[in-house]
Structure 1
Amino acid sequence: MLTVANLTKAYSGHTVLTVPALDLPPGIHYFRGGNGSGKTTFFRTVAGLLPFSGQITLDGQYEINRDPVPYRLRVNYAEAEPLYPDFLAARDLAGFVGRAKQAPAGQIDALAETLGVTAFWTQATGTFSSGMLKKLSLLLALLGRPRLVLLDEPLTTLDVATASRLFDLVRQLRSEQDVSFWLTSHQDVSLTGLTLTGSWQVGEGVISPLS
């Protein structure tokens, strides 16, 4: 589903992540690692938010640098600690991202209802709590027709009821639309109730499978 080859990510000449080869099949994958291990750097790189050297290819067809628009239409990302322009309302951001991701009719409203974003739909994000920001980031990450959704610390600041609805939605999208999900969590991954396809350790700039 997603293939990484000769990936190197460096900051100011210091290499922080090296992935010579990684081939992840469709499914739900969990990435474990401590603070500063490189999990978020890897997710942001795969999402197309950070420059790097190497190749990242989706479905054997869309290479992130060669096919930037088709790739980004199919790979979505929910940040661990999202930040948005203070003056924009949730509705405005969802409309903008929905158009960019070519969201089907009715998808935005359905997700807003499921994730509880309608309660603060017209409020400026500058007034949001961390939990409200998290719910909005999850909504944005599910818009369009993604093949892969990256969920960085989805349990952080999320209430139990919304987390349950989120993971029900993950199971539904996985079974009905063949959407793959990657997630990180400092909390017990079993709390998600998800059946994992694979688990991976991220540390010291490398990624390796967990036995």
Structure 2
Amino acid sequence: MLRLTNVQKYYGGFLAIDIPSLFIEEGLWWVQGENGSGKTTFLKMIAGLHPFNGTISLNNLTITKQRQQFVKLVNYAEAEPLYPSFLTARDLVELYCQTKGGDILFAQELLKQLHVFDAYTQSIGTYSSGMIKKVSLALAFIGQPKIILLDEPLITIDASAVNAICTMINDSYKKGVSFIITSHQAVRSEQLGFTGKLLVENRTIHKNSE
């Protein structure tokens, strides 16, 4: 599914990530690593939000040569999302549906499951951090993604939302969508049955065989 070859990410002269070769099969992947190890950088490179050296390809598409097609198949939700305070959830849903080819009614249903739809037409500036996080997570499921990247999706939100998100992940996975998820929180197997783990350490990323 996802292949990284000679991928390097520099911040100035500092080499933050160095991945000679990594192939990630379809599945539900848990990314583990210490704070500052590079987990978020890893996701943002795949999402097309960070420049890098090397090649990242999804099936037959490479992010450098077929960027538009690539990023349409990769959705991403940040750990601590930020949006202009004057926008509403409706504005964001309409924008994402337009760019990702998504269904507005489906997006609205996700917001209802996360108990944030009542504020659909209110400005983001009136939202709590948990409400903003829920909107961000719902947006990550819009369109027809092949892979969804979720950075710490279970923090900030309440217990009922955690259960809803896990259900959304499992339902999408059954339909053929793969996930790469970072989480410092212990995740019970009945919540998310991860098919594999990726370990971020020593400035590189490899599959955890444990």
Q: TM-score, normalised by structure 2?
A: 0.96
Kindly indicate whether residue 17 of structure 2 is the aligned counterpart of residue 25 of structure 1: no
Give the whole-Å Cα distance in 1 for the aligned partners of 2:19 and 2:116.
37
1:2-151 correspondence to structure 2 within 5 Å? 2-59=2-59, 61-104=60-103, 106-151=105-150
Greater Cα offset, 189-198 or 100-109: 189-198
Retained in 2: the 8 A contact 1:167–1:192?
no
The answer on whether the counterparts of 1:4 and 1:55 sit within 8 Å (CA) in structure 2 is: yes
Give the distance between the partners of 1:87 and 1:204, measured in 2 at CA.
41
2:200 is matched with 202
Counterpart of 2:103 in 1: which secondary structure?
coil
**What residue ranges of structure 1 are gaps of 5+ in the alignment?**
none
Structure 2: distance between partners of 1:138 and 1:105: 15
- 1:28-53 deviation line (CA, Å, top 9, x unaligned): 00001111000000001100001001
Measure, in 2, the Cα distance between the counterparts of 1:4 and 1:192. Answer: 30
Structure 2 CA distance for partners of 1:7 and 1:198, relative to 1, 3 Å: same
Gaps of 5+ in 2: none
Following TM superposition, by how much is the alpha carbon of 1:192 offset from its aligned partner in structure 2, in angstroms?
A: 7.0
- After superposition, give the CA deviation of every residue in 1:130-175 in whole Å (9 maximum; x if it has no partner): 1011101101111000000001001111111111111111111111
Deviation at 1:105, TM superposition (A): 5.4
Deviation at 1:205, TM superposition (A): 1.1
What amino acid maps onto 2:201 in structure 1? G
**Cα distance in 2 for residues equivalent to 1:158 and 1:198:** 25
Q: Is the 8 A contact 1:2 1:58 kept in 2?
A: yes
Tell me the distance in 2 between the aligned counterparts of 1:98 and 1:77: 14
Partner of 1:181: 179
| 1:182 maps to amino acid | I
Decide which moves more: 200-209 or 137-146: 200-209
Distance in 2, matches of 1:97 and 1:138, equals 12
SS at match of 1:72: helix
Aligned residues: 209
Secondary structure in 1 matching 2:153:
coil
**Root-mean-square deviation (Å):** 1.3
Provide Cα deviations, 1:77-136, integer angstroms capped at 9, x if missing partner.
010000001110111011111110000352222222122220211111122211011101
Aligned mates of 1:82, 1:192 — CA distance in 2? 27
- Percent of aligned pairs with the same amino acid: 41
**2:172 is paired with a residue of what secondary structure?**
helix
